[in-house]
Amino acid sequence: MEIKYCHKCVLPNTRPQINFNFDTLTCDACSNISLKKKIDWSKRNQLFKDLVKNIKQKKKKYDCIIPVSGGKDSTWQVVVALEHGLHPLCVTWKTPARNKIGSANLQNLIGLGVDHIDFSINPKIEKIFTLKTFEKFGSPVIPMHMALHAIPLQLATKLEIPLILWGENSADEYGGENELKGVNLNHKWLLKYGVTNGTCHTDWIDKDLSEKDLAPYVWPSDEEQNRTGVKAVFLGHYFQWSPQNTFELAKKFGFENASKAKTGYYNFADIDDDFLITIHHWMKWYKFGFTRLWDNLSLEIRNQKITRHEAISKIKSHGDEIPRSEISLFCEYVNIPEKKFYDIANSFRNKKIWKINDQGVYFIKDFLIKDWKWIK
């Protein structure tokens, strides 16, 4: 496989779900920029006001559920909902890796004036499930993403809360199928973009994990949602989303950023979790030859904050960053030696793009940066 890079941003054709035009060497996320510029956001804003009016006429105890972590995006979601007169129930899947700044930002969000459920899953089950997904797919966040989608959907259908407000649609922002771009989050979207490697809870039932054990990870079907009148939408369809925009608004309402970036480029994203998210993003390096930094910088290029040349310089200056402290924390959490972690990680190294030189060092042929310092 020959690795190619978008000539407008820095994403490679190895990125999952990306649609890549090999004639123009552009990804669909960059190609969509011209379409986004044509969006009449005042009309989109009005569509949301119409939706709110319709929801409030249902006269439920809660108008909507907002899945929240306390991060910049969920703070933005809550602020927008409150400003439009919605009465939300906020719901959080409690990560076992929640840290001090994550806790502080979540408390700040609750203090904006919302009811809140902090949902903890049986820690024994969560550890078993996390290790299994890391061993099978090289991803420790399949349980995370399965739960953070399932829990709000379950509560909405059981309590007949008519609306769930999610943040941005990753298919719009990072590239994906046209059918799954836009406003609605449904079962097909979850399987494709829900970061579960196309699996649902039934795929993980075995001698260690029963169906009852996995109850918090069950996604209600589209039919169940339709029957109870639950509509799940992306707020980013109605309001112009960008990392910087949501951060600036969230900061006005008490959100705190970190002193430096934990993973990627931003010091205001992916900061509320001590190790799971970082391990997930670092594994992209082995699997696809890029990291979270590349995703973030590509957004910055599309939003005209930096040039492609500047992005490449930033990637070069960061180098091959191994998150050693987070790896140690993860190994402690799932109770495996670090050697086993690296053995598992290396088993997911994409041999289609990674080669070995005469010194026994892995490298990527035709890499974006010609004088990259490869680490043994």
pLDDT value for 357: 93
Within a domain: residue 134? yes
235 and 264 share one domain: no
pLDDT value for 143: 98
161 and 212 share one domain: yes
176 and 269 share one domain: no
118 and 193 share one domain: yes
232 and 330 share one domain: no
Place of tokens 């995370």: 144
121 and 181 share one domain: yes
Query: Domain containing 86: what range?
Result: 41-243
Within a domain: residue 74? yes
pLDDT value for 286: 96
236 and 348 share one domain: no
Last residue of a domain, one of 243, 271, 299: 243
Within a domain: residue 20? no
Within a domain: residue 6? no
264 and 204 share one domain: no
Number of domains in the chain: 2
Would you write out the chain's pLDDT as a tens digit for each of its 376 residues?
889 999 999 999 999 988 898 989 999 889 888 788 899 999 999 999 999 999 999 999 999 999 999 999 999 999 999 999 999 999 999 999 999 999 999 999 999 999 999 999 999 999 999 999 999 999 999 999 999 999 999 999 999 999 999 999 988 887 778 888 889 999 899 999 999 999 999 999 999 999 999 999 999 988 888 888 999 999 999 999 999 999 999 999 999 999 999 999 999 999 999 999 999 999 999 999 999 999 999 999 999 999 999 999 999 999 888 999 999 999 999 999 999 999 999 999 999 999 999 999 999 999 999 999 998 7
Check: pTM over 0.85? Answer yes or no. Answer: yes
Where does the chain show beta strands of DSSP type E? Answer: 20-21, 26-27, 64-67, 88-93, 115-119, 163-166, 231-234, 354-356, 362-364
CA angle 210, 211, 217 (to 5 degrees): 115
158 and 300 share one domain: no
Within a domain: residue 250? no
Within a domain: residue 353? yes
Last residue of a domain, one of 243, 271, 293: 243
Question: Is 264:296 a contact under the CB 8 Å cutoff?
Answer: yes
Within a domain: residue 375? no
Distance CA 26, CA 7 (A): 6
Residue 288 dihedral angles phi and psi, to the nearest 5°: -130, -5
Within a domain: residue 340? yes
Find the CATH number of the domain harbouring 208: 3.40.50
Six token digits for residue 201:
């809870």
239 and 280 share one domain: no
Residues 6+ apart with CB under 8 A from 80: 235, 239
In 138-264, which residue ranges form alpha helices assigned H by DSSP? 142-159, 170-174, 187-193, 222-228, 243-252
266 and 206 share one domain: no
54 and 202 share one domain: yes
